[in-house]
Chain A
Amino acid sequence: DAKTTQPTSMDCAEGRAANLPCNHSTISGNEYVYWYRQIHSQGPQYIIHGLKNNETNEMASLIITEDRKSSTLILPHATLRDTAVYYCIVRLRSEKLVFGKGTKLTVNP
């Protein structure tokens, strides 16, 4: 069974914030939320991860709800180069990555 649910596609205007949701209602206490993205035809790229607290790095912010059943990846100022498929993955640290179909984000000029 899929551990995460993501919208198939989303659009965002260049320069605006892109907010990508992920539902993981069956997440267990020790499972982390990871985000990767895959720009067209390239290998996936790690973005960010979190357990309970909100996280921010140079690429994005990750907001996890208090009950941990959902999260949102935020790209604060989306650019055309952020057009990609974004994968939300839930796993224990020792488990292997399992990729779903992700969300196709299109950033429009």
Chain B
Amino acid sequence: NAGVTQTPKFRVLKTGQSMTLLCAQDMNHEYMYWYRQDPGMGLRLIHYSVGEGTTAKGEVPDGYNVSRLKKQNFLLGLESAAPSQTSVYFCASSSGPSSYEQYFGPGTRLTVT
């Protein structure tokens, strides 16, 4: 099993450009999450999904949109990138709300110039 994978690993955008980050998991998990991590900070939750077709806002949702059309995939979109969105983005999944463990992907390093 690959676990949680993220595409791409690195990306550089210009201000105003758009892009989509893809997260895929092969563990049949119901819950999926998108986090961002800035230098010297812990992870902050952007959006999450409790099942196929559902999404919900996390701690820092502004400037991002998400979609969960298939159970195994969770997409994070930036419609108009801003320098403040320069960060490392991590996707995670878990089997449910009471699951002890979240499984994290390797991260996507995004730079917006």
Contacts and interface: CB of A to CB of B under 8 A. Distances in A.
A13 to B, nearest CB: 26
Given A44-B90, A93-B97, A94-B97, A100 B107 contact: no
Contact of B104 (A45, A96, A98): A45
A99 B40 CA distance: 12
B102 A101 contact: no
B81 to A, nearest CB: 22
B106 A97 contact: no
Contacts of A32: 100
Given A43-B90, A101-B41, A94 B98 contact: yes
Contact of B42 (A34, A41, A94, A102): A102
Nearest to A41: B107
Main SS class of interface, A: loop
Nearest to B44: A99
Contacts of B102: 44, 46, 97
B43 interface: yes
A49 interface: yes
Interface residues of B, number: 25
A36 B27 CA distance: 20
A5 B48 CA distance: 26
A46 B42 contact: no
Contacts of B58: 96
Contacts of B22: none
B76 to A, nearest CB: 15
Nearest to B106: A43
Interface of B: 4, 33, 35, 40-45, 48, 58-59, 88, 90, 92, 97-98, 100-107
Top 6 closest pairs, chain A to chain B, by CB = A43-B104, A99-B42, A46-B101, A99-B43, A93-B98, A94-B97
18 contacts: A32-B100, A42-B104, A44-B43, A44-B90, A44-B104, A46-B101, A49-B100, A93-B98, A94-B97, A96-B33, A96-B45, A96-B58, A98-B42, A99-B35, A99-B44, A100-B42, A101-B40, A102-B42
